[in-house]
Amino acid sequence: MSESISSLVTGPIVREWNSAILERMVRVDLYLPTGPLPEYCPLLLVNDGQDLRTMQFEQIIGELWREQAIGPLLVAAIHAGKDRRMEYGTMGEPDYLGRGSRAGAYRDFILEECLPWITRQYPQTNQAKHSLSGFSLGGLSAMDLVWHHPERFSSVGVFSGSFWWRSVAQEDPLYSDDRHRILHQRIRRGAGASDQRYFFQCGAMDEQKDRNRNGIIDSIDDTLDLIEELVRKGVSRSTQIYYLELADGKHDIPSWARAFPFFLRWNFAP
C-alpha cells in the first residue's frame, strides 16, 4: 500500500469472539478511515470477509477515499466458518441437499450479536444506513437477509451470487426454473418493494453451464431473472438496481476485486 493510501486507511483491525448463536469463534476484520468517524457513519458488513485480505481491500477503499469518490465508511468483513455451506443460504428453507440449514442461525448472529457489537464499539454507525454484501454463496445469503429485513438494511451488494439455489435437483424431470429456484420464489411471494438498493455483478466467464440452452450462462440468467422479480415487485430498475457484467469476469476473487469499487461508488458516494 502506497504511503498516501496507508495514511487514509485504518485496518484491517482483527476482532474475535465466541458466538453463542453460531457456537464457534467468529473473526471480523474492520476497515475504517483514519481519524475520527463522522457522527453518522454508514456500515457495510461483508460475508466471506476473509476474501478481502486476498483482494487487498485496504488499497481498494483507500484509493476511493483519496479520490473522494466515497464518504467515510466502516467495513466489517466477517470471516466464514468451516460450516459455510450450512450457515449461508436461504433462511428456513435449505436447498435440495439440505445445505443452508443454519442460515436462520446466521441471520440471528448478524442481527442479535454482530450488529449490536459493532454499534456498541462504533456508536456513529448506530443510526446510519447498514448494508450487507457477499460473494457467491455469501451473496445469496446477503440478498436473502437484506430482502427480509428492510428495517435493518438499506442495500445489498452481490458478486457472482448463487441464485441457482434450488429446492429440486436440476436433473429431476420435474425441475423448473420458474418453480424451484428458492430465492426467486421468495421474492415473488414477498411483500412489495421498499426503498432498498440492489447491486449485482456477474462475470461472463463465471461458469460454462447453460441449462436452458439460450446461449447465456446460468449465473447471468439467474441474476437477470431475479432482477425481473424485483422489478415486478415495484423496485425501480433505474434508481434502485445496478447490474454490472464483466465480459472477462470469472468466479474468483480478482474479478470481485475489480467489481467492488463499482458497488462502493454507487452506494456510498458522498
Over residues 197-253, the pLDDT tens digits come to: 999 999 999 998 878 888 888 999 999 999 999 999 999 999 999 999 999 999 999
Mean pLDDT of 175-191: 95
Sheet holding 43-46, edge to edge: 9-19, 24-33, 74-78, 43-46, 130-135, 155-159, 197-205, 241-250
Asked if 144 and 103 count as a contact pair (C-beta separation under 8 A), the reply is: yes
pTM exceeds cut of 0.85: yes
Q: State whether CATH 3.40.50.1970 applies to domain 3-267.
A: no
Segment among 2-11, 66-75, 90-99, 175-184 with least mean pLDDT: 2-11
Between CA 19 and CA 110 the distance in angstroms is: 10
Segment among 56-70, 85-99, 209-223 with least mean pLDDT: 209-223
Asked if 166 and 209 count as a contact pair (C-beta separation under 8 A), the reply is: no
How high does pLDDT run on average in the chain? 95
Q: Which three cell numbers stand for residue 68?
A: 473522494
* Per-residue model confidence (pLDDT) at position 2: 52
Asked if 32 and 12 count as a contact pair (C-beta separation under 8 A), the reply is: no
Q: Which three cell numbers stand for residue 8?
A: 487514509
Q: Say if residue 192's pLDDT is above 80.
A: no
- Give the position of cell 478481502: 52
pLDDT band at residue 191 under the 50/70/90 scheme: confident
Between CA 204 and CA 14 the distance in angstroms is: 34
Mean pLDDT of 1-29: 90
pLDDT band at residue 193 under the 50/70/90 scheme: confident
